[in-house]
């Protein structure tokens, strides 16, 4: 696994090495070129001086080489070389350093001498200058020349090749190369150490962050990452992590609370079951008593089953296992069918049921989920309303939404408490309604189901003790206008009346 520190150091040092190497090569090349130019100019000057010392008469060519500093052309450790030829190829002069050897006779003109690098006769690398020139003509004081007066005289040309060792170029260049390389290596070394130290310091907040994160587990999600002293690049990371921790903490808390609530809700019915069985078995009884006890146990078991079913439904809704399967539905039919199981209880409680339904019209929704929503809403209303109260069931359209409102006269909740009714296992207060009928999951289930149906649900409670549950669903009519369907509708529920948009639609 590559570390960020190593990657940064290796990357930076490599880049620096490439830059330094490039700069070193260029610097070295420039220096070498300058030194070569200098050597060449010395060669050119020497050649011009030599050429200027030569003159020709009517019969021969002379050279006054004594004016030329011939020391470098002597035999020595690093001799120079000079050789001159006449135009017929005969050697006119050969420096003592050459002995019997010859230089290559390659030359340019006096204005553009040929300069080249090559190997000297003693196998040293050298610089060669070749020039062909015409020695000046020997003249009298009056400016006349015997040679020029001689009939058939023709000016002679001389080719000169002057060679010197490249030491004045190569040695400083080599020293400079060593110097550049040493400085570069030192710079790389120092930079590597400095970079390592700086990056280690810069990454320390990251290590602290990692250490803090490593201390977190599902039990310590309430703690937060300390953002103090973090560099600004890490501040946003720490803030995001803290946000994530907050959400995780809330989720874990919800889960723990839910588990505790589930366990709590199961305790009482299980206590009832156990106590009934233990008391019954404590002594021999007649068949009627056994039958009664078994009947009580069955009642508890059915309630437990109801509770478990709701918990399971909520878990499935949470995990997305339950999805909406929309089809064309007549909401009033679903309402009527969902109410049926509660007719008996409503009648025995002498409840007044008020139906205020608009004319039935098709909507596209999942009828079984809608039925589940309505059954839970009705059960909640019937359980809370109390004997002699009323339940009102209304439907109406508002801003392209189908609204179903189930209200009852039995609210013991304050307007503020009404907002909590969708929380799982929430009850108004410790002095609750009835443990036998409520587990606090019905409306939580309603909210989840309505959400799957793409709608919303709200609850309200007023000071007159009226609790209202309003379900809003997308009213996607299947190609028929709301007005048309409402106007054509004739079916009413018993005791109900058509309300809503029909009048407004005209």
Partner 1 sequence: MKLLLIEDYDILRKSLTQGLRESGFSVTATGDGEEGLWHARSEEFDVIVLDLMLPGLDGLTILDRLRSERKTVCVLILTAKDTVPERVRGLNSGADDYLIKPFDFTELVARVRALVRRRYETASSLIQVGDLEVDTRARTVKRAGQAVLLTAREYNLLEYLALRANQVVTRTQICEHLYDFGSEVYSNVVDVYVGYLRKKLERDGWPRLINTRRGLGYVLGEPF
Residues that bind partner 1 (CB under 8 A): 260, 264-265, 267-276, 278-280, 282-283, 293, 296, 299-300, 427, 429-436
In angstroms, what is the minimal distance from the CB of 297 to partner 1? 8
From residue 319, alpha-carbon distances to 246, 314, 450 in Å are 21, 9, 15
In angstroms, what is the minimal distance from the CB of 490 to partner 1? 45
Phi-psi region of 217 (alpha: psi -120 to 50; beta: other; left: phi over 0): beta
Q: Which of 77, 429 has the CB closer to partner 1?
A: 429
CB atoms within 10 A of CB 494: 7
In angstroms, what is the minimal distance from the CB of 311 to partner 1? 16
CA–CA dist 148, 57 (Å, integer): 9
Q: Which of 265, 397 has the CB closer to partner 1?
A: 265
In angstroms, what is the minimal distance from the CB of 271 to partner 1? 4
In angstroms, what is the minimal distance from the CB of 268 to partner 1? 5
Cβ contact 156:129 at 8 Å:
no
In angstroms, what is the minimal distance from the CB of 469 to partner 1? 21
Residue 128: phi and psi, rounded to 5, are -115, 140
Q: Which of 433, 465 has the CB closer to partner 1?
A: 433
In angstroms, what is the minimal distance from the CB of 436 to partner 1? 5
Q: Which of 112, 431 has the CB closer to partner 1?
A: 431
Give one DSSP letter per residue of 101-166, joined into a string: -------EESSS-EEEEEE-TTS-EEEEEEEEE-PEEP--TTS--HHHHSTT-----EEEEEEEES
Residue 351: phi and psi, rounded to 5, are -85, 145
In angstroms, what is the minimal distance from the CB of 260 to partner 1? 8
3-state DSSP percent of the chain in helix, strand and coil, to 5: 50, 15, 30
Q: Which of 299, 474 has the CB closer to partner 1?
A: 299
HSE (CB half, 13 Å, CA atoms) of 47? 33
CB atoms within 10 A of CB 218: 10
CA–CA dist 302, 273 (Å, integer): 11
Return the DSSP state at 352.
E
Q: Which of 130, 269 has the CB closer to partner 1?
A: 269
Q: Which of 233, 292 has the CB closer to partner 1?
A: 292
Q: Which of 430, 503 has the CB closer to partner 1?
A: 430
Find the radius of gyration of the CA atoms of the chain. Answer: 55
């Amino acid at each position: 696994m590559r570390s960020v520190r190593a990657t940064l150091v290796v990357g930076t040092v490599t880049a620096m090495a490439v830059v330094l190497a490039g700069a070193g090569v260029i610097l070295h090349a420039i220096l070498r070129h300058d030194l070569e130019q200098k050597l060449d100019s010395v060669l050119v000057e020497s050649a011009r001086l030599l050429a200027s010392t030569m003159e020709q008469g009517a019969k021969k060519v002379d050279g006054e080489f004594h004016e030329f500093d011939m020391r470098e052309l002597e035999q020595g450790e690093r001799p120079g070389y000079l050789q001159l030829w006449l135009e017929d190829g005969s050697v006119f002069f050969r420096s003592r350093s050459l002995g019997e050897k010859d230089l290559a006779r390659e030359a340019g003109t006096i204005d553009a001498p040929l300069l080249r690098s090559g190997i000297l006769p003693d196998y040293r690398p050298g610089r060669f200058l070749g020039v062909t020139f015409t020695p000046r003509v020997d003249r009298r004081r009056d400016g006349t020349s015997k040679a020029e007066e001689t009939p058939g005289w023709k000016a002679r040309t001389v080719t000169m090749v002057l060679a010197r060792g490249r030491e004045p170029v190569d040695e400083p260049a080599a020293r400079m190369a060593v110097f550049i390389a040493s400085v570069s290596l030192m710079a790389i070394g120092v930079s590597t150490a400095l970079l390592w130290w700086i990056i280690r310091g810069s990454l320390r907040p990251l290590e602290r962050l990692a250490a803090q994160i490593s201390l977190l587990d599902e039990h310590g999600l309430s703690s937060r990452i300390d953002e103090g002293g973090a560099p600004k690049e890490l501040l946003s990371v720490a803030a995001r992590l803290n946000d994530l921790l907050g959400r995780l903490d809330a989720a874990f808390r919800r889960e723990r609370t839910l588990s505790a609530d589930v366990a709590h809700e199961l305790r009482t019915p299980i206590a009832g079951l156990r106590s009934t069985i233990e008391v019954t078995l404590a002594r021999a009884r007649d068949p009627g008593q056994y039958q009664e006890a078994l009947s009580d146990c069955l009642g508890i078991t059915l309630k437990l089953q109801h509770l478990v079913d709701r918990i399971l439904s909520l878990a499935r809704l949470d995990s997305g296992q339950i999805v909406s399967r929309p089809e064309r539905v007549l909401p009033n039919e679903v309402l009527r069918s969902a109410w049926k199981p509660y007719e008996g209880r409503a009648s025995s409680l002498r409840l007044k049921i008020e139906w205020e339904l608009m004319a039935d019209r098709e909507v596209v929704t999942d009828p079984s989920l809608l039925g589940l929503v309505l059954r839970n809403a009705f059960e909640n209303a019937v359980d809370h309303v109390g004997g002699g109260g009323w339940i009102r069931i209304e439907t109406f359209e508002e801003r392209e939404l189908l609204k179903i409102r189930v209200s009852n006269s039995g609210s013991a909740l304050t307007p503020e408490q009404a907002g909590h009714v969708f929380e799982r296992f929430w009850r108004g207060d410790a002095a609750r309604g009835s443990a036998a009928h409520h587990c606090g999951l019905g409306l939580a289930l309603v909210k989840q189901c309505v959400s799957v149906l793409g709608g919303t649900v709200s609850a309200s409670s007023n000071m007159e003790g009226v609790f209202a549950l309003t379900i809003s669903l997308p009213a996607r009519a299947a190609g028929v206008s709301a007005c048309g369907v409402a106007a054509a509708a004739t079916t009413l529920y018993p005791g109900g009346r058509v309300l809503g948009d029909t009048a407004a639609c005209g």
